[in-house]
Structure formats: C-alpha cells, structure tokens
Structure 1
Amino acid sequence: MNKKTINYLTIGLLSLFFAGMIASCKHDDDEVLTPTDPVVEPFKGLDSVYTIERFRVLSIPTQLSENLTWSINDSLISQNSELEFISPKATTYPLTLKIGNNADAKVYHSKIRVTKEAGVLSKYISKVFDFRPAVGQFMNEIPEYNQGNTAVNMLQKANASLVGSNSTMISLGGFGGYVVFGFDHTIPNLDGRDFKILGNAFFGNAANDPRSGNCEPGIIMVAYDKNKNGKPDDNEWYEIAGSEYFKNTTVKDYSITYMKPNENKTPVAGSEDWQADIEYIKWTDNLGNTGFKTRNVFHSQSYYPLWFTDASYGFTGTRLKDNFYDQSGNGSYWVGKSYEFGYADNAPNNDEASNIDISWAVDRNGKYIKLPGIDFVKVYTGINQEAGWLGEVSTEVAGAYDLRLK
C-alpha cells in the first residue's frame, strides 16, 4: 500500500467519524420537515340549523370542488363551495345543498334561523377610516383646518361630519381625493339598489339638458369584510362599474401629481396678470399632460391641504370623461352633465341615480363579482377638469346610508 492510498483511507475514515458525531449530536428540533398540504376534513354534511343575526353574513364552507348548488325554497342562491348568506329579515329559511348533477347526487337539508340583533343598528355611516383630499377651492374649509392640525385631527373632523343621521358635507377636491367610511353592519346585496351616497349635486333650471347642473361624479369602491377584522383591507376593494365604466372615454389607472403652490399669488380680477394669477397649483399626469388647478376670487385660503408637508402628492384611479361644458358660449354659464348611474355626487339626493347597486361591483379585470354585501365604501373624485369661473370639478360627500335597513 503506497503513501497516497493510506492518506485517502485516513481522510475517508475521519469523514465517516465526524459524520457520525454530527448525526449523534443532532436534535429532533433541528430536523427539516418536508412541507405537506394542509389536512382537509371530508365533508360530513350540514348542521341541522344555523343561527345568525340579521345584517350579518353566515359562512358555511364545504371544501368541495365538485358541482354543487345551494337553494332556499327551490330558489338557487349560490353555486360556490362556501355559502355566504345574509338577510335583512328575522325569519327561518329552509336550506338545501345538492352535490352533483346526476341521479347519484347527494342532497342535504338544513335551516338558517335569522334572529333580531341584540343591539341597535344604524343605517348611516358609523366610522370614517381615511380622509385624503386632493387640492381644491374648498380645501381647509370643509372640514375646517386650524393651525397645527394633523392628519389625525382632520380625520376626526371628517368623522364628525359624516357619521350619523345629521351628517354635513366634506369636499374631496380635484381628481383622486378620497374618503373611506364604513357601517356597523353588512349592507346586504339584494335585488335592486342597496345604498345611497349623499352629495350636493343639483340640476340647473336654465340647463338645456334637464339632467345637467352641478354634477361632480365621484368613483365608488366597495369592500366586504370577509376576514372579519373590522377594517378595509387593500385586497377587498372592488369598483362600482357605473354607466361610463366600459366606455373608451374612461381612463383606467390614471395617475396625477399635485405640486405645492406659491401661496403669495392672489388673483386680481380684470388685471393684466389675471391668467398668470389663476394658474395656481400645477399638476402632471401619467399621460404626459400638465396643467393647473385654478384659484378664484371667491376663496382666498390655501387650496393645498395645509396638514400635508410634502412638496407634492398624488393619486391613481379611474378617470371619467370631462362632464362640464360652457353652455353660454361666453364663459358665464357652465353646467355639469349627470352620468346615468353608479357615481357619487352625480345627481340630487332625492334622485334614483344617487342610489347604488352592489351587484355593479367589478374586479381589477372588469369582471362582475358576486358579494354577499359590503361593509366599507371609498369615494374619490373621478373628474380632472376646470369649469371656468366655477373652478375645479370636485366631488363632495355629505353622508351615506343603507337602503335595506328600515
């Protein structure tokens, strides 16, 4: 045996020795387990009865992927693996689950007992979760900004304005400015329109189009609190597809950025520098456009939210086609056309067009989504336009309420 062979044997024996030592010192806690799929319990049928308060969602999961139908009194209510059921009425419903489509289909029967809630529900907004307005002539006025106020203070003021039956108005400013609010119960998604959003829209007596006047449409987003954590999560939002949603004049994923203005400029009507004076807050968008949110003689305060410290800020969302036009032809009478349905501050509060149907909700791809109901609403200004001496088109919100809770 030569010297090289002896060296190889020595190295091999040492390797085996140390491997054995490592194995003997290894603890059970150090072992890396191969991940496995979660254990899915086989479906064992329905409970004899399920109990839920009205305006609350009952969830019955089955973990089944085969064909199934849920029905009440022979009326199909769902074909999903998980039933999500909600009712505004306290009564008992006969529930049937059918699995399969052939003669071997399995049928299960149960009951859903809907009871009156223990407390008192309000049909009005119960909480404002977020308030981030864009620039505009009513900014820092409704709600009012006071020196030293922070975003937390302004959110509290928006909350005080919108919660309850005696709500007052807030302004969202130009395109993208938004407010997010919720209810103390789930508004059920039933046949017809389900909730109303209040604004300050009105039809003009002198407008050539009878459904035109001061209409400043806001995009509406809705969310169902599926995980029951009491807050609107980013992955729960769906857009209400109003009458303009599928038109090629509507721009999806439109982005705008507003620049903090020079507050030393004050417009003087009739002066030679009038045009330069009113070009107040510069904006740019993701389409390569640039422009100004104008200043007018009716509002002298800052149009930039004074609790915002950044030199610029912006928004992204769905932009609607401009709806204001100069009916007079000389700039003296501007009117905003009301879109047919599906927007906030788009029609008077007593008009059917201010009522919203949850079934209009679509996902990011424009596909209609079937929600059992909604818990949260987001409204943002959907127009980026200057309407002459009227100033920017800005959505106002003056409250909202559930049309199902009587």
Structure 2
Amino acid sequence: MNRKSINYLTTGLVSLLFAGMIASCTHDDDSPAEVTEPPFKGLDESYTIERFRVLSIPTNTSGAVSWSINDSIISQSGELEFISTKAATYPLTLKIGSKGNDKVYHSKIVVTKETGTLSKYIAKVFDFRPAVGQFMNEIPEYDQGNTAAEMLQKANGSLVGSNSTMLSLGGFGGYVVFGFDHTIPNFDGRDFKILGNAFFGNAANDPRSGNCEPGIIMVAYDRNKNGKPDDNEWYEIAGSEYFKNTTVKNYSITYFKPNENKAPVPGTENWQTDIEYIRWQDNLGNTGFKTKNTFHSQSYYPLWFSDASYGFTGTRLKDNFYDQSGTGTYWVGKSYEFGYADNAPNNDEASNIDISWAVDQNGKYVKLPGIDFVKVYTGINQEAGWLGEVSTEVAGAYDLHFKK
C-alpha cells in the first residue's frame, strides 16, 4: 500500500480496511514461508578449533560434495564435522559438483591445544535413577532424609574422575547418565571404555561366562552445544544382540513399593518359603517379584523415591544367567560378544565401545563425529537364584583416544 492510499483513509475507515487487508494477506493453512538457505560463498581462509572439539562447516548444498585433507577424503557430507586429537594444521580441500563441472575451494584447519585442562574420565553425572535391587541404598549409601539431588551428588562422587568407584543400577531399566569435558571422537576402531565389575568364572563351562550383567549403552553428541544431553540427541549402541529376535525393543516394566513391615527377613524360619518381595509387571502381561536374599537386609526400593511405583522403558536383552550346577548352587552369566556395559572384565576388549555402532530409533546406523554423553541402563530382567537380580554396575568410563 503506497503513501497516497494511506493518506486517503479516514479515521472511521482505517480500522475496517486495515483489518480486511490483514485478513486478505493471511493464508488459510497458516503455513510458514519457505526459508531458503543462502548460497555457498566459499570457504574461509582458515578455521581454528581446539582439539577434542568439533568444527562444523556447512555448505548448504545437496549436490555431490567431497572434503579432503591432503589426498585423503574425510567426508562426503554437505556439512563437514571435523575433530582432531592433535594440535596441528590441516590443509583442507572442498569439491562441489561432478567431475568436469566441479568447483574447488581451499582452506586450512588450525587445531590448537585446549586452554584449560581436559580429562579422559567422566566429568559429570547428570542423572541417576536406579531400579530396585540388593545393592540399593548401599551403593551409593543412602542416609536418612537424602533427596534425589543429594543422591545425584553421591553418584558424582562415585563416578567422576580417575579414582571412580562402583554405582549399582538395580534391575531392568535402572540408569545413570554421565558426560565428559570434551567430545570423544568417532575414529576407526573402538572409542571409549565403560568400567564395571564383571569377571569370568574359573569353573564356568563357557570360558566367557561368570558374573556378566549386560547394560544397554546410549550415546549423545551435543550438537546444539548447550552442555546437556537433550532427548532428541540419544542413539543406542547396537551391540551383538540388537538385531536378534530374542531382543525386545520398547520393553516396559513397573516396580511397586513394598510394605517393608511385611518384607521377608533373611535368616528367619520361614525365609526360604517367603521371599516374594517387590512386585513388578511389564507391558507383555508378565508379573513377578524381586526377591530378597540373605546377603542384604536393607530396603531394595530406593528410599529417596516417594512414589508408590515407578518404571522404565528400553531394550531388553535375553536372560543370560543359567544354573550350571543344576542344583541351584552355581549360577553363571554369559558374556555377550560386544556392545554392552558390565558385560566383560575391564581388561577385555568387549568392554570397549565403538561409536559407529550407534543406531537411531529405526535401527539405522548414524554417523556421529563423536559423543559428549553416555547413558547406561540394566538390560536384563532376571533373577539368578541365590545371586538375586541381574543388575548392571558402572565403575567409571574413559576416552580411549585421549592423550595429554
């Protein structure tokens, strides 16, 4: 509308015409205007990034793209995500388009040493929500009146740094979420290790069996750089059992708070016939009880949880413990081949994890430049005789690529 038209409008007519003009400019579907990305104008002369940080260079193109350093192609994505563990200068070449009709751009990436001090170990525990279990309220220890925030702080004390100790996650679904002070790179081979308390039994028929309590591993790359793990950033590490029909996806379980005054008391006369303790039910129509054993007499329900019930959803692995003795005296848990926490001794290759095993919700592999956060949860819902529930333990984690 030009200035002459505006001046023509009288006071009584302005509101009516202006409202009509707005209505005529409004689309019925309220669809947002299409946003077009600005055309690619070329590379900067150089880019600077600290080591163990991800440098992102977008091109806003859907055509053929090739990024290379010297003569080695490092990416064919429209956006380069580059990370290095070494302080050095890398000559960068970008080609856009097909042969004979491509454009070539040159730049360099300057990787500097970090200004602060980095650690290869866990830097922070973001969340700790265990399931029920025999080590609950003991590892870490619950003191009367402790809140969830105080128990989270105790979890930090257990896992942060090089002198980490153990944290028990309880039965299926119990989890811990932790992060690092840098991005762990996704390079060829395995990238990080998760520590547990798994070991192989000398008397086990299978040499890779013993005390193995596999935990599902989730990983997240902090793409928006907000310093916290967001819900839409998580991917599951597809271990050796992920694609098998014995693995249940989207398995849910609910635990119900017991009446501790009626709980079985270890060592009493009716102990062996009255061990039903914490009731659970799942989304497959199954119900059962987590039992109480003679080794731990405290409450197995997290005492800082006030709810009458709580639950978890995730990937459930096939039961891995079996009674080798046949008389209930010797139970062993079989180690799965790869991709799980607390699944093999800490000095075993199976406790090392490859970021390239990460998959999305549809089971498709994803390409991440690295990860900043890890979530571990117990992947088994099983009672192993006198040993009690199968529960994943986490005793630390570290970056396999980190060198000072």
Aligned to 2:276, which of 260, 279, 296? 279
Deviation at 1:73, TM superposition (A): 2.0
- How much is the aligned-residue C-alpha RMSD, in angstroms? 2.1
Check if 1:50 corresponds to 2:47. Answer: yes
* Structure 2 residue matching 1:235: 3-state secondary structure: helix
Partner of 2:3: none
Deviation at 1:30, TM superposition (A): 10
Partner of 2:171: 174
Shift of the 270–143 alpha-carbon distance from structure 1 to 2, 3 Å rule, reads closer
Check if 1:266 corresponds to 2:259. Answer: no
Cα distance in 1 for partners of 2:275, 2:138 equals 19
* Structure 1 residue matching 2:277: 3-state secondary structure: strand
* Structure 2 residue matching 1:386: 3-state secondary structure: coil
Deviation at 1:79, TM superposition (A): 1.7
Deviation at 1:49, TM superposition (A): 1.0
Cα distance in 2 for partners of 1:368, 1:192 equals 16
Aligned to 2:302, which of 291, 301, 305? 305
What TM-score do you get using the length of structure 2 for normalisation?
0.93
Task: Work out the number of aligned pairs and report it.
Answer: 390
Partner of 2:107: 110
Greater shift in the superposed pair: 380-389 or 44-53: 44-53
CA contact (8 A) 1:267 1:274 kept: no
Deviation at 1:69, TM superposition (A): 1.3
Partner of 1:40: 37
Shift of the 280–30 alpha-carbon distance from structure 1 to 2, 3 Å rule, reads same
Aligned to 1:190, which of 163, 187, 191? 187
- Deviation by residue 1:250-306 (Cα, 9 ceiling, x = unmatched): 00000000000121222455845623x211000000000001111011100000000
Aligned to 1:389, which of 386, 389, 398? 386
Partner of 1:135: 132
Q: Which has the greater radius of gyration? A: 1
Check if 1:22 corresponds to 2:12. Answer: no
Shift of the 36–218 alpha-carbon distance from structure 1 to 2, 3 Å rule, reads same
Aligned to 2:158, which of 134, 158, 161? 161
Deviation at 1:359, TM superposition (A): 0.5
Check if 1:60 corresponds to 2:57. Answer: yes
Aligned pairs for 1:368-383 within 5 A? 368-383=365-380
| Displaced runs of 4 or more, over 6 A | 16-19, 24-34
Deviation at 1:38, TM superposition (A): 2.8
The residue identity in structure 2 corresponding to 1:314 is: G
Shift of the 25–236 alpha-carbon distance from structure 1 to 2, 3 Å rule, reads closer
Cα distance in 2 for partners of 1:32, 1:296 equals 72
Deviation at 1:89, TM superposition (A): 1.1
Greater shift in the superposed pair: 89-98 or 26-35: 26-35
The residue identity in structure 2 corresponding to 1:274 is: Q
Partner of 1:13: none
Cα distance in 1 for partners of 2:11, 2:161 equals 74
Partner of 2:85: 88
Aligned pairs for 1:119-268 within 5 A? 119-264=116-261, 265-268=263-266
Cα distance in 2 for partners of 1:70, 1:239 equals 28
Cα distance in 2 for partners of 1:112, 1:405 equals 20
Gaps of at least 5 residues in structure 1 are 1-15
| Identical-pair percentage | 80
Gaps of at least 5 residues in structure 2 are 1-8
* Structure 2 residue matching 1:279: 3-state secondary structure: coil
- Deviation by residue 1:90-114 (Cα, 9 ceiling, x = unmatched): 1111111111113111111111111
Greater shift in the superposed pair: 65-74 or 335-344: 65-74
CA contact (8 A) 2:264 2:271 kept: no
Cα distance in 2 for partners of 1:18, 1:43 equals 49
Deviation at 1:20, TM superposition (A): 2.7
CA contact (8 A) 2:165 2:395 kept: yes
